Structure 1
Amino acid sequence: MASTLWFYVGNEVIRFSAVEFCLVTGLTFGDSCESLSYITKHMDKWILRSYFRDGKVNVKMFANWFRNLGPDNNVSDDDMVKLVLVLFLEMTLVGKDDRNAIMYWALQLVDDLDAFNSFPWGTFLYGRTFDSLSTCVVGRDDKYKERLESPAKRKAEEYNVYGFVTAFQVWAIEAIPKWAMLGYASRVNNVTPRILNWECTRIPSYVELYDNIFKYRNVRMP
């Protein structure tokens, strides 16, 4: 199981762990998320055999195929629900590069909706999010220095974060109240899971966030 991330903001240290992830998402956690243990022998792999017989399909191909389905498609209502679940999982919850292959074990798992719903998605998605957050900036400072010394016009160094990034964003909004005070997000509800309580009103730039939040030593925490 993934561990805990600690962030220094102002004079405070704030925590992002499985506890906060669970409070934000409401997803199920369990002792193990080995996919094969949830794929029982009686599953007939109907979705996999019916729609993905031509070999490896990446997320972008899957999304384009789904987008191009016409009103006269021969996909049953039950299959449509299962395909939407996997597409939402791949594009929103897992949040990976769309050039990567889809998770074929998820296509098997979704054949049994009870098994799909009982899978510990919280454990699985927090692990992916934690791994990405804890490694995404490794070595980036050296690459930035190389860019500064190179003739390249673009000097900024960028990185990508994968996993259920929206959950991390909502955690940041709640952990740093100034985020909402500056108008980057607004509270629309007061329920659980906490991800239902917020909507983004505009996307700040890095310069805005640094100037308004991160350069100060007296950032207030809840």
Structure 2
Amino acid sequence: IADNACDSRLPERLFATDRFPRHRLNIYSRPNILAFVRHALRGSEVFAKIRESSFGKLFDLPTRQCPVSCKLIHSLLSRQLRCNQEHTLWSVFGKDPLRFSLEEFETITGLNCGSFPDGYEAPDHNRKDANKQKGAHKDPLWQKIVGKYDNITIADLAEELEHDHQMDEWRRIRLALIIILDGVLIASQQIHRPTLRYVQMLDDVDAFLEFPWGRESFLHTVRCMKPPKFEKGNPVDSPVDMLVLKLKQETFRLTGFPLALQLLAFRAIPMLLSKIPAPFNDQTIMDLTEPNLPNHPSIDLDAVLEVEANSSLRVTPLIPLVRGPHPGWGVWPNEKTDDKVTYMEQLIANNHCFSKAMWPGGDCSEPVFTFTPIPEKPVHKKHTVPRKRMESTIKPHKAGKETSVPSENRRSTRLQASSTPTPAPSTELLEARISTLEANATLMVARITGLEATVAKLGASNERLKQKLHWQLKRSRATSLLPQFVVTHRRRSAPHRPQSNDLQGDDHHDSPNSKRRKTNQVTH
């Protein structure tokens, strides 16, 4: 098969090449909690015990890479391949595949990803009643560790862990572990709350620390990234179509620990690291002195697209793995095989040079998008002279013979300077500028059209207000002139009466109120 031909033996794309949606994610995991736990338990025996367990490797994560980039993770999910392997996610970045499996998850996080104990089944939050919390406050262990309420949040527990200095070590380590578990590794809701089944497992802390929490966290993470079997408790007829629909929505919910996929991308695609808007450093969460991660944004969508379009892009499909010591590492019982994935893995082993055109299939409802990088403006250096040096070298002007330059020479010098040839921009640069201008023109036309419609509406409203004001003024003038007209008319039409000798203030034309007052006076 030619390099640019579609290879039907490869797994199909979820979305067709260059037709990927670009929307937002709701990620519930908060890696900042790790920095808080490090700060709240600094120098304590509780933290030393957590640090010695498999949870301890989490505090070695590089802080520069920890701010979650929803755009990067969404880009990897929309570029994934359809495969029958339930617990493995394959994505194509640029033209090369990239694997995210339990083995990569343990290599990055250091968590225990061994096999589950016999009879244990990880809950699926998409199933109905997967995480029953009703009546949690009645559980004796819940009352000892969490408290007497079943709607308490992880934030409440964190505040208690930080400020209750009289708390005993027995409860302190259990609170710290449930905060890490439900706030970072297995976050399943926007407002983090402790999970009853995990609180019940804290009866034996040593057994809790030996549990394969890496496998549990990975299941919660990868299940929401791949085509779902259940949606709101009901079986899904077409899981692939359901995932396509979810990724095309404005927002898409992710549970578990999605930061692991982002950290994998930074390790497999080193060029992404240069796009993080923060200085290079080797700082880890252990090195922090504050209870927060560094306050800098993560990589944005433009940077992701720019890296993907770079001709020097290098992607490592399979990162070097660190094999864990626990039994069952990286093995899933009854895992299905996929011939197309096997064929792709063989090409990777043979160092095959992939191309974008090789990848078949995918949803075509999204428009074709080709990223055009915006050319950077050159930065011109300013010629500056130190002030001290300038003051020392400048001498008072002495009157003398001035050597004037003829006007013709000055004119020719200006012409030579203005006609100095400048290097012509390249064709790619011109095309990029034209594309940028066309896109800006389209946006401006849309804005102008909207403004014209708004102006027309305001003009019509203004005319209506003018007419209304005109009629109100006309009516108010008529109303204000009416009493004066009536009085004048009465004065002109009334017959002439002789003047009386009554006291001033008596009026023979009594009003009804005056007549009423006179009647009252006579009666009294």
1:84 alignment partner AA: A
- The 1-side partners of 2:247 and 2:212 are apart by 36
Partner of 1:165: 258
Partner of 1:182: 275
Note the aligned Cα RMSD (angstroms).
Answer: 3.4
- The 1-side partners of 2:301 and 2:162 are apart by 41
Q: What pairs up with 1:101-140 in 2 under 5 angstroms?
A: 101-135=193-227, 137-140=243-246
1:73-104: per-residue Cα shift (whole Å, max 9, x none)? 65312201111110111111113323365211
Q: Secondary structure at the match of 2:92?
A: strand
1:3 alignment partner AA: H
Identity of aligned residues (%): 23
Partner of 1:48: 142
Q: 1:10 to 1:35 in 2, by over 3 A?
A: closer
73-82 vs 23-32, greater mean Cα deviation: 73-82
Q: 1:132 to 1:115 in 2, by over 3 A?
A: same
For normalisation by structure 2, the TM-score amounts to: 0.32
CA contact (8 A) 2:185 2:217 kept: yes
Return the index of the structure with the highest Cα Rg.
2
Q: 1:139 to 1:112 in 2, by over 3 A?
A: same
Partner of 1:31: 115
Partner of 1:205: 300
CA contact (8 A) 2:186 2:220 kept: yes
Q: Secondary structure at the match of 1:134?
A: coil
Q: 1:142 to 1:171 in 2, by over 3 A?
A: closer
Q: Secondary structure at the match of 1:14?
A: strand
Partner of 2:106: 22
- The 2-side partners of 1:119 and 1:69 are apart by 23
Q: 1:52 to 1:175 in 2, by over 3 A?
A: same
Q: Secondary structure at the match of 2:226?
A: helix
Segments ≥4 residues shifted beyond 6 Å: none
Q: Secondary structure at the match of 2:254?
A: coil
1:8 to 89, 92, 96: 92
1:185-216: per-residue Cα shift (whole Å, max 9, x none)? 74628xxxx999xx986412223322x22345
Q: How many residues in Structure 1 have an aligned counterpart in Structure 2?
A: 192
- The 1-side partners of 2:248 and 2:112 are apart by 39
Return the offset for 1:52: 4.1
Q: Secondary structure at the match of 1:133?
A: coil
- The 2-side partners of 1:77 and 1:22 are apart by 29
Q: Secondary structure at the match of 2:90?
A: strand
- The 2-side partners of 1:81 and 1:7 are apart by 38
- The 1-side partners of 2:160 and 2:188 are apart by 22
Q: Secondary structure at the match of 2:142?
A: helix
Return the offset for 1:32: 2.0
1:203 alignment partner AA: S
CA contact (8 A) 1:10 1:215 kept: yes
CA contact (8 A) 2:276 2:298 kept: no
Return the offset for 1:3: 1.6
75-84 vs 171-180, greater mean Cα deviation: 75-84
Partner of 1:96: 188
Q: Secondary structure at the match of 1:139?
A: helix
Which consecutive residues of structure 2, in runs of 5 or more, have no partner in the other structure?
1-84, 123-138, 229-242, 287-292, 317-524
Return the offset for 1:119: 0.7
For normalisation by structure 1, the TM-score amounts to: 0.71
Q: 1:70 to 1:141 in 2, by over 3 A?
A: closer
Partner of 1:42: none
1:9-54: per-residue Cα shift (whole Å, max 9, x none)? 1110111111111111111123326279xxxxxxxx7641324454
Q: 1:220 to 1:66 in 2, by over 3 A?
A: closer
- The 2-side partners of 1:16 and 1:82 are apart by 31
1:113 alignment partner AA: V
CA contact (8 A) 1:176 1:221 kept: yes
Q: Secondary structure at the match of 2:179?
A: helix
CA contact (8 A) 1:11 1:219 kept: no
Q: Secondary structure at the match of 1:6?
A: strand
1:102 alignment partner AA: P
2:187 alignment partner AA: G
- The 2-side partners of 1:2 and 1:70 are apart by 40
- The 2-side partners of 1:122 and 1:141 are apart by 26
Partner of 2:314: 220
Which consecutive residues of structure 1, in runs of 5 or more, have no partner in the other structure?
37-44, 144-156
